[in-house]
Structure formats: C-alpha cells, structure tokens
Amino acid sequence: MSKKRVVIAGMGFGGLRAAKTLSESDVELIMVDRNNYHLFQPLLYQVATAGLEQEAIAYPLRGLTRRWRNASFMLAEISGIDLDAKIVLTDGGNVPYDYLIVAAGSRTNFFGMESVAAHAFDLKRLDQAEDLRNHILLMFEQASRESDTKIKSALLTFVIVGGGPTGVEFSGALRELIVYVLSKDFPTISANETRIILVEAADSLLTAMPADLREYAHQKLNSMGVEVLLENRVVGATPESVVLYGGTVITSHTLFWSAGVAAAELAGFLKGVEFGAAGRVVVQSDLSIKDHPEVFIVGDMACCLEKGVPLPMMAPVASQQGDYVARSILAREEGRSLPPFHYFDKGAMATIGKSSAVAAAAGFKFSGYIAWLAWLLLHLYYLIGFRNRLVVMMNWTYAYLFQERQVRLITAKKRRAVTIL
Amino acid sequence: MSKKRVVIAGMGFGGLRAAKTLSESDVELIMVDRNNYHLFQPLLYQVATAGLEQEAIAYPLRGLTRRWRNASFMLAEISGIDLDAKIVLTDGGNVPYDYLIVAAGSRTNFFGMESVAAHAFDLKRLDQAEDLRNHILLMFEQASRESDTKIKSALLTFVIVGGGPTGVEFSGALRELIVYVLSKDFPTISANETRIILVEAADSLLTAMPADLREYAHQKLNSMGVEVLLENRVVGATPESVVLYGGTVITSHTLFWSAGVAAAELAGFLKGVEFGAAGRVVVQSDLSIKDHPEVFIVGDMACCLEKGVPLPMMAPVASQQGDYVARSILAREEGRSLPPFHYFDKGAMATIGKSSAVAAAAGFKFSGYIAWLAWLLLHLYYLIGFRNRLVVMMNWTYAYLFQERQVRLITAKKRRAVTIL
C-alpha cells in the first residue's frame, strides 16, 4: 500500500500543529501556504507599535521541512478545491490528496461597511503591521510641525474599535509607545495632546473574561489615559474622520479595526458545505465536512459547536483541532476512530501594559504583575524558533529596562525612479 | 548675538558625524533627512542575503535628538536650496540657515543604460534590500517546482556587476546562503545547479587593494563556486537576460548592479557650482563651495581632490569630512580657521565569506580569519545603537554556529482587496 498523502492548506496555528503531529508518522505531508513563513499573529500588535521587528514573529516554514523527512512545503495561492477529484488547485499547480486539512484561518470582517473597510487599518498580515507602524509614526512627524491646533489634535487622535484582546492590547501598547517613547522623541508634542479612544459595542471589555478582570482592564486602561467608549459602535469613516452610531464624528486619521473576523476566502471554494455565522464552515463532530470524511476544517474557518455554541476564533482552538484531525487521520489509517473533538479550555489572557495583564485559567483568576509575567512566558513559549525567542526576549527586556522602542522606523517604501546620467 | 543655525541635509555617515561633533557645541542644529533613521549601508547586502533583519541596521534619528539638547530633526524631502537667501526648501516647509552642510550621499549610476536601470537590483535603501531578498528566495521557490531544466537554471543564475567591496561581499554572502541554507531548504535543488557570475570591468577585483589581497579574494571566490568574469561589462538587460559587452547573453532573472555610484539628485539644486565626475560637486580645500563659504559639501557628493585625484566615495571619507566641517564651523565662530581638509586613509577591507576577508591598513595586509574577525569587530563598532549591535552580533553568532539564516522570509507586500461580507 502506497503512502497516503495529507495536504494542509494554511500554516497558521491549526495547520502547524497538525503538521507537527503528522511529522512523526509515515504519511506524505504537503504544507501549502501563500507565505513562506508561519506568522505568530498574537504579537502583530507589537510590531504595529514599534515594539518588535516583523522578522521576529515569523518563522520560515522550510526550516520545518528540513527536520520532518516526510514533509514538503509549497508556496502557492490556492485557487480552488475539487472535493470529488480530491485535488487542491493552486497557482503553482494542482495537488491531489488522500486527506485534506483546510486551515486557512480568518480575515477581517467589516460587516459590509465599505467606508470603514476602505479607511481602517486591521492586523492580519506582517505588511499591515508595518504599514500601521509607519502611519502612526508619520502622524507624529506631521503633528510635530503643525501649528494649527485642530489639525494637530486630529493627527494625534487614534480610534481603536473592538474591546477584545487585540483592541485592549493594542490600545495599551500604543499608549505606552506615546508616553514612554514618542513624547520624548517629539519635544513639541505632549502626551496630553494625544487621544486614544477604544470603542466597544458590548457593555464591557474582554467579554470572555470574568467580571472583575473586565473591570480591572477597564480601570487600568483609563488610568493609563485610554478613553473607553462602551455600548457604542463605529458605523463609518473617511480619511480624516470616524463616525459613531448616533452620528458623533471624531476627527482622526487613524482608525484601527479589531471588531470582527470572518472565515478566510478559501471557505468559498468548498462546494456543497453548510456555512455558519461569519462564513465559517459547519463541521461534523470529527471536524470533517458532510459527505467528505477525508476533508477536515480546523481553526477560525471551522464552525464547531460545543454545548450548542460555536467555539471562539482563537489560536488554542485551532491548535487543539489541528492536533485532533492529525491524530484521527493516523487512527483511521490503523482502522481505528477517535471520539468526537472536545475543546479543552485553558483559559484566556490579555496584557494591558507594562507589568499589567489579566488571566483566567482553570477557575483561577490573576491580574497585574503575575498575570503579565505569565503572559510574557506563555507567548515566548508558543513562539516558534529559538532565535525568534531570543530576539523577542531581548526586545522586551530592552523595553522594560530602558523604556525604549528601538524599531520606531518609518520604512514606507519610496518608489523613486532611478535618474539616468 | 543669537545662536547660529547649522542645517545638515542628509544623515548618512557624513551628516551623522558632523552632527555628533556639533552636538557638544552651542549652535542650533537642524538635521534633515527623507528617512527617520540613519542607515548603516555597509551591511545592506546582508539584509539582501537574509542574514540580518532590516531593522538591525537602521537607527532612529530622534533617538539622537533626545541626547543632543541643541539638535532637532525634520523628516522631509528637500526640493531646493536657495544659496543667496540661505534657505533650504522642503516639503515640510522652508528652513533658513547660517551654515549648511550638504551630505545627501550618492545614488546608483547606470551610466545611461536604461535597460539595465529598468531591470537591475541595486542596494541604496532598506526597501531595496528587502525586495532583493524576496526576489532571490522567490527564484528558489519557483525553481523548486520547475521541471524544465533550462528554465530552472535561468531561475538559479545570479549575475552581479561590480568587483568592488559590495559586489564581492554580496557574491560571497549569496553563495553561502545557497550552499549552507537554501540547498537544505530545497531538497530538489542542488548548489551545483545554481550559478553566481561576478562581472568586473577592470582586470582584477577590489582594485583599491594590494595585488596579493586582490588575488586572495579572487581565488577564494572561485573556490567557493563564484564565477568571476574580469575585463568584461554588462551593457544591457531584459527581465530574463543579461547582455555582456561583445554580445554574450546570460539567461538570468537576477541582475545585481554595484558597478557605479553618482552624487545624489540634491547636487542639482546647487546653482552655479562646478561639477566633477559622477555629478559630484567640486569643493574648495575647506569643503565649502565657491562664493559660499557657509555651505559645505561632504561625503559622496563632494568632489574633493587629494594629490590631484578625487577621494573615493566611501564611509570613512564622509565621516572625516563631516567631522572636519563641523570643527571648522566652530572654529570660524571663534574667529579661527582650520588648515585645509586632509583625508587620513585608515585602509580598506572586504569580507568574502565565513572566516575569510581581506584588509589593508597602514601598510599592513591581512587576509583570512584575522581579517574576517577584524571586519566583524569594526562593523559592530561603527554600527549605531546598543540594541542593533546586540541583534547583529546575535545573528552573526547564530549563523556561525548553526549555518543558519533565520530571516529568509518572503515579505513581498500582498495588496489583497478586503472582501466585504
């Protein structure tokens, strides 16, 4: 019997974990991604706030294929999936499979608001983090030579939408960038002239957290100088303004959107499947799709019900699902089958600022320094690559000791034509 | 008497050194640059060959203005210089000066060959280094799934023009990237299938070096597998070919040009000055320009004769000139004047590969391991910023110990339209 071929579409947390589990087996493993690296998305906001260089949170996937003898990597954009012929179509050629693991993750969901989609920044890709960093620093450069106070304050007003971990962590990191670094860099700008407005539709931040931790986060952000607008929504935007529900207009050139995600475009290539909320693909209890037991969906793309509600779109879910489908493929090859997938909730955490975070795990609740330390260590642990851990740890230590953000570079590409002599 | 204002246009090695010297004085110092960082250009080729992250060789200029009480920074594109009114015109407003130090450096010189200018890569800016890295890695990704051997070998052929330090160092670094890293990353590509062709018009490499060091570099590159073509020239290019003088056509998608530099565009803004070779501005013995003793040109832009020949366009010349004009401004303010500028030649060095470099200094000549160690230490020493030194040292140590290049990421920006649900 020839080796079975497992194709993994998308090398985020779900795909990576599935690959890792399969790497010790004797199936043929083909990893497909549009990038040649695994991106550690939870730290993208630190790239956007000049805390980390982008290379530190990306790990070259071919570094894995070296160690995994049964694995190969293919840099390709997937253009279709033929479920009946069992073929993945890509711009690099067609890839037949015996088993397919679809783990393409999610994209930002603007809920149909074109004006917001057109003008807001979001954080899914490395280049978006770099663009946002360049933009923030540019706003300060422009403000530093602006005499008109109204224009200046517009340049220094930053609106963040979404009170989940990303919105909270970004708000805190941006505030610290301004207070500890930029206010020293720009003698003509005081931190009091800047505004950070965090807008959340629900009646509290970090809704997944216990009440007292939500309260702690809210208080902490307030004390840091972040304005928190609860039970409010952004409904529109222009290059120089943000419109709130009810009509209030905030003059600002920076709108950061972290208020919604939806399944990646790839979901649309799966013919005949059932879709849940946010375009997620409804899966069976073993994470395969109906009528195609050889095709699995994991992570943000999968609409997997647990106690009647879909599992959240977050890394731990994706990792556990990736591991589960890998193990269940191996089990099937041995004629066994696994019990339905069950998500083991390890809890949630979010860092707010220096020495300050919230964490809820296994019934325990932490806040402040201990939670912050736990956050740092866990993120270093889950980061891929020895060198990346070193670089990140170095940057964090450096920032902690010297209140510095060395990566405050405006690297916007200048496309100047070469002058010919 | 009010403080005299010194404006520095361009914060490369010349401008930076001038600023440093003036920072201890009581003149008003205004540093103008189109980027918000000082770029350590000598290591750009290591960014292009995936050895360093781009952030590691850039230092934020506002980090300097914090320490220098008399200095301020202006991010601006200079659009003109009014020598009579003593005003620098920029897109960020006009800047009057009492003294002006023009240190805008150089740009790549394609000697009028449009086709080469259109298709060749060159290394002057950070984004160019990232583009070149992305391109090289992409060539390997494409070659890895190419069955046609002719197309494959074209993808794996790299032509480098210019046998100076940049061309030699880039050739060696690229060859090591291929042999130590990419040949392991790509099981379907052997190093023997790749070609690196270094083209130099003169009859030897590193013409500024003593004969035996030139010979050592040549032999070393040969033994590493780099093909050296002497007394030859590239006269044209297309996206898939490079044309040599005499008509030979090399099928290749990668042409790296390091065979010529010319004074930066800014030189054109100086009305009534005399121009030397490569558009450099002819300066007096004190580096000022004729009829304008308050305007100085330093570095690559200055055509400064020493023993009848113009000084080379390299960092040490720029630094010494920057320091000289700064001191001579201070001297003038005290009613003194300095003797004419004299360049103290500290020698030259170039690294070829791991544990291998050439260095000629003060009549001494080194090659091999000692020269390589000296090269590493000197570059670390001249690199700006404690953190950058740490990151670079870490990357070098990592590469030395593990034969690795962790930064082999394809970060080409994907401008995908956001899908609206």
The interface predicted TM-score (ipTM) is 0.93
Select the residue of B112, B122, B185 nearest A420 (Cβ to Cβ). Answer: B112
A326 closest CA partner among A33, A20, A81, A26: A20
Which residues pair with residue B106 across a beta bridge? B263
For A346, the 3-state DSSP assignment is coil
Residue A314 and residue A364 in one domain: no
**For residue B413, what pLDDT is reported?**
59
Say if A338 falls within a structural domain: no
Residue B179 and residue B146 in one domain: yes
Average pLDDT over every residue of A7-29: 97
Tell me the two tokens of residue B310: 């113009």
> What is the per-residue pLDDT across A80-136, written as a single tens digit (0 to 9) for each?
999 999 999 999 999 999 999 999 999 999 999 999 999 999 999 999 999 999 999
Residue A136 and residue A235 in one domain: yes
CB B335 within 8 A of CB B346: no
Band the pLDDT of A412: cuts 50, 70, 90: confident
> Are A391 and B388 an interchain contact pair (Cβ–Cβ within 8 Å)?
no
Backbone angles phi, psi at B261, to 5 degrees: -130, 155
For B340, the 3-state DSSP assignment is coil
Whole-number Å distance between alpha carbons of A21 and B380: 42
A141 closest CA partner among A410, A419, A416: A410
Band the pLDDT of B416: cuts 50, 70, 90: very low
CA of B89, closest CA in chain A: separation in Å?
15
For chain B, the domain total comes to: 2
- Residue of chain B whose alpha carbon sits nearest to that of A185: B62
Torsion of CA B152, B157, B158, B163, to 10 degrees: 180
Half-sphere exposure of A3 (CA within 13 A, CB side): 13
**Among the three residues B288, B305, B333, which one is the final residue of a domain in this structure?**
B333
A90 closest CA partner among A266, A264, A263: A266
Residue A217 and residue A253 in one domain: yes
A18 closest CA partner among A324, A271, A280: A324
Helix (H) or strand (E) holding A256: strand A254-257
pTM of the model as a whole:
0.94
B87-90/B93-96 β-pairing:
antiparallel
The strands making up B87-90's β-sheet, listed across from edge to edge, are B78-82, B87-90, B93-96
Helix (H) or strand (E) holding B190: none
Residue B198 and residue B278 in one domain: no
Handedness of CA A396, A359, A352, A278 (dihedral sign): positive
Residue B171 and residue B289 in one domain: no
> What is the per-residue pLDDT across A173-225, written as a single tens digit (0 to 9) for each?
999 999 999 999 999 999 999 999 999 999 999 999 999 999 999 999 999 99
Average pLDDT over every residue of B2-31: 96
CATH of the domain at A181: 3.50.50.100
> Are B110 and A418 an interchain contact pair (Cβ–Cβ within 8 Å)?
yes
Mutation target among B79, B130, B269, B419 for the A interface, most CBs of A within 10 A: B419
Tell me the two tokens of residue A279: 């375009």
Say if B66 falls within a structural domain: no
Give the catalytic positions of B in this structure.
169
The strands making up B356-361's β-sheet, listed across from edge to edge, are B348-353, B356-361, B364-368
B292-297/B288-289 β-pairing:
antiparallel
> Are A110 and B72 an interchain contact pair (Cβ–Cβ within 8 Å)?
no
**For residue A247, what pLDDT is reported?**
94
Select the residue of A262, A418, A419 nearest B421 (Cβ to Cβ). Answer: A262
CA of A111, closest CA in chain B: separation in Å?
6
**For residue B414, what pLDDT is reported?**
46
- Residue of chain A whose alpha carbon sits nearest to that of B77: A414
Residue B205 and residue B127 in one domain: yes
Torsion of CA B172, B174, B178, B179, to 10 degrees: 10
Band the pLDDT of B384: cuts 50, 70, 90: confident
Whole-number Å distance between alpha carbons of B320 and B298: 9
Whole-number Å distance between alpha carbons of A351 and A316: 17
Q: Dump strand ranges (E) for A53-191.
A: 58-60, 71-75, 78-82, 87-90, 93-96, 99-102, 106-108, 157-161
Band the pLDDT of A159: cuts 50, 70, 90: very high
> Are A413 and B186 an interchain contact pair (Cβ–Cβ within 8 Å)?
no
Q: At what angle do helices A386-402 and B386-402 cross, to 10 degrees?
A: 160
Whole-number Å distance between alpha carbons of B183 and B225: 14
Half-sphere exposure of A244 (CA within 13 A, CB side): 20
Say if B358 falls within a structural domain: yes
Half-sphere exposure of A242 (CA within 13 A, CB side): 26
Within 8 A of B413 by CB-CB distance, chain A residues are 127
> Are A413 and B110 an interchain contact pair (Cβ–Cβ within 8 Å)?
no
Residue B380 has pLDDT above 70, yes or no: yes
Residue A295 has pLDDT above 80, yes or no: yes
Say if A282 falls within a structural domain: yes
Say if B178 falls within a structural domain: yes
Whole-number Å distance between alpha carbons of A270 and A85: 13
A5-9/A28-33 β-pairing:
parallel
Residue B415 has pLDDT above 80, yes or no: no
Say if B67 falls within a structural domain: no
> What is the per-residue pLDDT across B52-88, written as a single tens digit (0 to 9) for each?
999 999 999 999 999 999 999 999 999 999 999 999 9
Interface size, chain A vs chain B, as Cβ–Cβ contacts under 8 Å? 148
Answer with the residue of higher pLDDT: A412 or A52: A52
Q: Dump strand ranges (E) for A110-269.
A: 157-161, 195-199, 226-229, 234-238, 241-244, 249-251, 254-257, 261-263
Q: At what angle do helices A165-176 and A211-224 cross, to 10 degrees?
A: 30
> Are B58 and A409 an interchain contact pair (Cβ–Cβ within 8 Å)?
yes
Mutation target among B131, B407, B415 for the A interface, most CBs of A within 10 A: B407
DSSP character string of B299-317: GGGEE-EETTEEPPSSHHH
B292-297/B99-102 β-pairing:
parallel
CB B156 within 8 A of CB B189: yes
In total, chain B counts a number of residues equal to: 421
Say if B64 falls within a structural domain: no
Select the residue of B36, B114, B409 nearest A137 (Cβ to Cβ). Answer: B36
Within 8 A of A125 by CB-CB distance, chain B residues are 414
> Are A394 and B387 an interchain contact pair (Cβ–Cβ within 8 Å)?
yes
Identity (one letter) of the amino acid at A281? V
Within 8 A of B92 by CB-CB distance, chain A residues are 145
CATH of the domain at A277: 3.50.50.60
If you compute the radius of gyration of chain B from its CA atoms, what whole number of angstroms results? 23
Tell me the two tokens of residue A258: 């972290």
Lowest mean per-residue pLDDT among A242-246, B310-314, B359-363: B359-363
Within 8 A of A37 by CB-CB distance, chain B residues are 409-410
CB B352 within 8 A of CB B169: yes
- Enumerate residues 6+ apart whose C-beta is below 8 A from A402: none
Whole-number Å distance between alpha carbons of B352 and B30: 39
CA of A418, closest CA in chain B: separation in Å?
7
Average pLDDT over every residue of B321-349: 96
Band the pLDDT of B187: cuts 50, 70, 90: very high
Within 8 A of B74 by CB-CB distance, chain A residues are 145
Residue B253 and residue B273 in one domain: no
Residue B169 and residue B218 in one domain: yes
CB B174 within 8 A of CB B351: no
Tell me the two tokens of residue B204: 């030897």
Whole-number Å distance between alpha carbons of B203 and B231: 5
**Among the three residues A305, A333, A361, which one is the final residue of a domain in this structure?**
A333
Within 8 A of A411 by CB-CB distance, chain B residues are 54, 58, 126-127
**For residue B2, what pLDDT is reported?**
78
> Are A411 and B127 an interchain contact pair (Cβ–Cβ within 8 Å)?
yes
Residue A135 and residue A167 in one domain: yes
Residue A256 has pLDDT above 60, yes or no: yes
For A130, the 3-state DSSP assignment is helix
pLDDT more than 90, % of chain A:
90
Identity (one letter) of the amino acid at A264? A
Answer with the residue of higher pLDDT: B363 or B204: B204
Say if B397 falls within a structural domain: yes
CB A54 within 8 A of CB A129: yes
Band the pLDDT of B1: cuts 50, 70, 90: low
- Residue of chain A whose alpha carbon sits nearest to that of B76: A141
**Among the three residues A275, A309, A333, which one is the final residue of a domain in this structure?**
A333
Residue B419 has pLDDT above 60, yes or no: no
Residue A418 has pLDDT above 50, yes or no: no
- Enumerate residues 6+ apart whose C-beta is below 8 A from A272: A83, A290, A291
Residue A137's alpha-carbon distances to A92, A161, A181, in angstroms, are 38, 20, 11
Helix (H) or strand (E) holding B101: strand B99-102
> Are A54 and B411 an interchain contact pair (Cβ–Cβ within 8 Å)?
yes
pLDDT more than 90, % of chain B:
90
Query: Domain of B387?
Result: 114-259+347-402
Band the pLDDT of A419: cuts 50, 70, 90: very low
Band the pLDDT of A338: cuts 50, 70, 90: very high
Backbone angles phi, psi at B352, to 5 degrees: -105, -40
The rounded mean pLDDT for chain A is 94
First-residue to last-residue Cα distance in chain A? 67
Within 8 A of A127 by CB-CB distance, chain B residues are 411, 413-414
- Vertex B355, ends B165 and B178: CA angle to 5°? 75
CA of A409, closest CA in chain B: separation in Å?
6
**For residue A289, what pLDDT is reported?**
97
- Residue of chain A whose alpha carbon sits nearest to that of B118: A418
Residue A191 and residue A151 in one domain: yes
Band the pLDDT of A414: cuts 50, 70, 90: very low
**For residue A405, what pLDDT is reported?**
84
Residue B388 has pLDDT above 70, yes or no: yes
Residue B408 has pLDDT above 70, yes or no: yes
Band the pLDDT of A370: cuts 50, 70, 90: very high
**For residue A416, what pLDDT is reported?**
33
Residue B319 and residue B182 in one domain: no
B412-416: which pairs have CB atoms within 8 A and are 24 or more residues apart?
Answer: B412/B131, B412/B134, B412/B138, B413/A127, B414/A34, B414/A125, B414/A127
Within 8 A of B414 by CB-CB distance, chain A residues are 34, 125, 127
Answer with the residue of higher pLDDT: B384 or B338: B338
Tell me the two tokens of residue A189: 């700008």
CB A281 within 8 A of CB A270: yes
